[in-house]
């Protein structure tokens, strides 16, 4: 039987991962409408990845005898002022997710739920990567500033890093 405190924390994390997916989907749509197809591809892929993180939690809770709760649809912002602000928001969001995951890991140790603690280590590693990626992207955007040529090249680089074909570049 799953520890109820841990189950609640994991269900809260499901909502956070789902909100991340929705936020990145909104950012992708905005980017696409601004002509940043490479960035849009990157963010669409990132949105899908966050949904996979959510599904992984849903399946884990259910397999452990708990009950995963599917959250209501979250409506994120749909308009952004700049590419830099998108990635600042993305980093801030990932930092909050990391904090939440760290809280779950701490609770697992307090409750002596070593199975969930072990499961959560994947999320700990993933968050290190997510934050580092967001910081790297922000560093590039700060270097570019408002240079349109730089933003064009940045967008092409994002297309490559999304894993998508360069068909829209």
Over the stretch 66-120, which tens digit does the pLDDT of each residue have?
999 999 988 888 899 999 999 999 999 999 999 999 999 999 999 999 999 999 9
CATH number at residue 17: 1.20.1260.10
Please write the tens of the pLDDT for every residue from 109-153: 999 999 999 999 999 999 999 999 999 999 999 999 989 999 999
What is the domain range of residue 20? 4-69+78-168
d(CA 8, CA 113): 14
Annotated binding site for Fe cation: 17, 50, 53, 94, 127
pTM: 0.90
Query: Helix, strand, or coil here: 58?
Result: helix
For the annotated binding site, the residues are 17, 50, 53, 94, 127
Decide: 145 and 82 in contact? Cβ < 8 Å. Answer: no
Whole-angstrom Cα distance, residue 146 to residue 38? 17
Residue identified by tokens 């910081």 is 135
Q: For the chain, what is the domain count?
A: 1
């Amino acid at each position: 039987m799953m520890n109820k405190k841990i189950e609640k924390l994991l269900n809260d994390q499901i909502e956070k991962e789902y909100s991340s997916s929705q936020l990145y989907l909104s950012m992708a749509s905005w980017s696409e409408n601004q002509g940043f197809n490479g960035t849009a591809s990157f963010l669409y892929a990132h949105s899908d990845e966050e949904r996979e993180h959510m599904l992984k939690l849903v399946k884990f809770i259910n397999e452990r005898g708990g009950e995963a709760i599917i959250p209501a649809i979250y409506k994120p912002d749909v308009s952004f002022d700049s590419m830099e602000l998108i990635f600042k928001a993305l980093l801030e969001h990932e930092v909050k997710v990391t904090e939440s995951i760290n809280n779950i890991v701490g609770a697992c140790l307090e409750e002596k739920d070593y199975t969930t603690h072990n499961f959560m280590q994947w999320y700990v590693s993933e968050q290190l990567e997510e934050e580092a990626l967001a910081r790297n992207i922000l560093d590039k955007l700060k270097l570019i500033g408002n240079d349109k040529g730089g933003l064009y090249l940045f967008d092409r680089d994002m297309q490559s890093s999304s894993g998508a074909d360069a068909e829209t570049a």
